[in-house]
Amino acid sequence: MLGNTFGRMFRITTVGESYGIGKGSGLAVIIDGVPPGLKLSDELVQEEMDKRRPGVGKLNSPRLETDQCHIFAGMAQDGVTTGAPVGIIIYNVDTQDIHIEQYKQYKDLCRPGHATYGFFKKYGENQDWCGAGRSSGRETVGRVAGGAVAKHILEQEGIEIISYTTECMGIKAREMSYEEAKANLRKNEINCPDLEAAEKMEKRVLEIKDEGDTAGGIIELRIKGVPAGLGEPVFDKLTALLGHAMFSIGAIKGVEFGAGFKVGNMKGSENNDQFTQKDGKIRLKTNYSGGTLGGISSGEEIVMKLAIKPTPTISLKQDSVNMPKNEIEELSPITRRDPTLLGRIYSVAEAMAACVIVDSLMMARGYDNVCRVENPWREI
């Protein structure tokens, strides 16, 4: 299996499966490019891990994973990084035989909305059928651990990332400023800063859960404090890198920057962000471009919208095919699942965005230093 590493200078490599091989199985991330002298701890990383932990509340999977992380490499005795790769491990603790047996009962069936058919075509009967293996949402715990390190680096740069639910099953949150959204983060299980809309969303999700079904939605992700000049103008646009990062998350099916698809019904005079000056610096009057111009950061807030699909595991009967036999069968899984992914997946999106921004900062500054480029214009 290829494609388990993301990034260029700041790189994360994740390993591990949803269930793995018996007791003692787990997931891990190796992080290359972590600067020496960075103060890290299990507790710091754990703050991010707890945001995506299952088994908490009525809107996520009842799987009782503690997601306790441990930094096992890349640290000196005094609790700072050495410049070596940082390794973080998270053990699986709720891999009960009853759940493994449930997966085994329909391991040969194509699961609608899941990756089983593609995995079967690629790996045959050797595919990991238990809990979806590497295609499970549980794979993302390593990303969140790596993103926690990236976020810690960004804090020192004055860069902040927040994300939250803006829509679920047709119920929309009102638009709000960065400050208001930040003040209301994680005040409810669906992580919607519009508290009235959140109540309606949660009620609707629970109704859908009672039907044996699941719900999708929209998440907004905002990055504040990114300096202008990050990203390369052709294949490695900042939007392209962020898009790659978001689409690598299995449940994200659509990404918009700024005005997004609305630009298809706008005039150029409406869509163009006109320039002005503020405190001696060039700024934009509006931000329809979502924080980038020509694939390069503009210094404005980076704003993205992410379309999150409903959890594919549902209790309703669905048509399927037995892959080894190539015969039609009916599928009705009874395994654990999130009635909606909105209350946890935002932490994964933030982690991947953080990795992109750290990597882009390292690329930009590394290029300038090696080429001895003096950029006084970056101060305007």
Looking up residue 318, the CATH number of its domain turns out to be 3.60.150.10
Tokens of 57: 């509340």
Greater confidence, 368 or 72? 72
Residues 329-357 as b/e (b if ≥16 CB within 10 A, e otherwise) read eebebebbbbbbbbbbbbbbbbbbbbbbb
Q: Which domain holds residue 280?
A: 5-379
Distance, in Å, from the CA atom of 89 to the CA atom of 188, rounded to the nearest integer, reads 29
Point out which residues pair with 168 in neighbouring strands.
171
Instruction: Provide the residue type at 359 as one letter.
Output: D
Q: Does the structure show a pLDDT above 70 at 378?
A: no
Instruction: Provide the residue type at 239 as one letter.
Output: T
Q: Does the structure show a pLDDT above 90 at 163?
A: yes
Kindly state the average pLDDT of the residues 175-194.
Answer: 96
Q: Does the structure show a pLDDT above 70 at 123?
A: yes
Cα–Cα nearest to 333, from 110, 125, 73: 110
* Per-residue pLDDT band at 60 (split at 50, 70, 90): confident
User: For residue range 73-88, what is the model confidence (pLDDT) as tens digits?
Assistant: 999 999 999 999 999 9
Contact 64, 56 (CB under 8 A): no
Question: What is the predicted pLDDT for the residue at 373?
Answer: 79
Kindly state the average pLDDT of the residues 306-313.
Answer: 95
Question: What is the predicted pLDDT for the residue at 225?
Answer: 96
Tokens of 375: 């950029």
**How many distinct helices (H) and strands (E) make up the chain?**
9, 16
Kindly state the average pLDDT of the residues 96-110.
Answer: 81
Q: Does the structure show a pLDDT above 70 at 217?
A: yes
Q: Does the structure show a pLDDT above 90 at 265?
A: yes
Question: What is the predicted pLDDT for the residue at 59?
Answer: 86
Kindly state the average pLDDT of the residues 171-196.
Answer: 96
Number of domains the chain contains: 1
170: number of Cβ within 10 Å:
9
Q: Does the structure show a pLDDT above 70 at 22?
A: no
Question: What is the predicted pLDDT for the residue at 103?
Answer: 79
Question: What is the predicted pLDDT for the residue at 125?
Answer: 81
Average pLDDT, the chain: 92
Q: Does the structure show a pLDDT above 70 at 36?
A: yes
Question: What is the predicted pLDDT for the residue at 58?
Answer: 87
Q: Does the structure show a pLDDT above 90 at 332?
A: no
